[in-house]
Amino acid sequence: MSDGTPAEQFFDAAIGLLQRVRDEEAETIEAAGTLLADTVAAGGRLFAFGAGHSSLAAQDVVYRAGGLALMNLLAAPGLVGVDVMPATLGSRLERVDGLATAVLDTSPLLAGDTLVIISLSGRNALPVEMAAEARRRGVRVIGVTSVAYATQTTARNSTGTFLKDHCDVVLDSKISIGDAELTLDTIPAPFAPASTVVTSALLQAVLATTAATLAARGIEPPLLRSGNVDGGHEWNARVFEEYRDRIFYQR
């Protein structure tokens, strides 16, 4: 490890990763932002999905001040964060064949929509099958994953493929295998994961691109404002009304 306190070392590691994705993923960020803008302009709907801790980044772009009002969370019991007990059940559900199809069958996703799927490893059955099945149904898919897993681990699903193999656009978070940035001689395991920080930043960069792309086309981006600033609720009520047929978290 480098010099400095563990806190300083973590910040340095996170900043380094953010700089890498800014520089190395610029083209894919632009592509993903443009795909979302294309979907909005064409009347499609936007969805985000992540299982376990990958769901944190998905939740971060839904019903968010400064974010796109049209981004909806695709959720299923036991798959959102650690909302199921025992929490380890969520990890097992990610490996269940056929679960992704059941989730999609009961979701409002339609051909022409775009789905963002977040999975750090991209190796389990759930994200892989969800991406493949969504595309089969005419849904465009943006994957957010660490491509390193596809070269350094084996797939944990019946197809032998990874999330990155079933996407229209792939955003590589650059997170190393194991998602732990620090080590100490006095601690037997690596620690301090950075995937949530980096993945959330990647998605916000994509949505910023989407907003700017829509504006450049003469389309007002359907953005939300904070309810804690004067006029925020009134602004959001107008957006909700205008796009009520494409927003599902109000129902």
Among 69, 76, 137, residue whose Cα is nearest residue 109:
137
Print the SS3 string covering 157-196: CCCCCCHHHHCCEEEECCCCCCCCCEEECCEEEEECCCHH
Residue 47, H or E segment: strand 46-50
Per-residue pLDDT at 159: 86
Per-residue pLDDT at 77: 76
- Phi and psi angles of residue 248, each rounded to the nearest 5 degrees, phi first: -110, -10
Per-residue pLDDT at 75: 84
Whole-model pTM: value is 0.94
In the chain (251 residues long), the average pLDDT of successive 10-residue segments reads 86 98 98 98 97 92 97 85 76 82 95 97 93 98 96 86 96 96 95 97 98 98 96 96 94 74
Residues 6+ apart with CB under 8 A from 179: 120, 146, 193, 194, 195
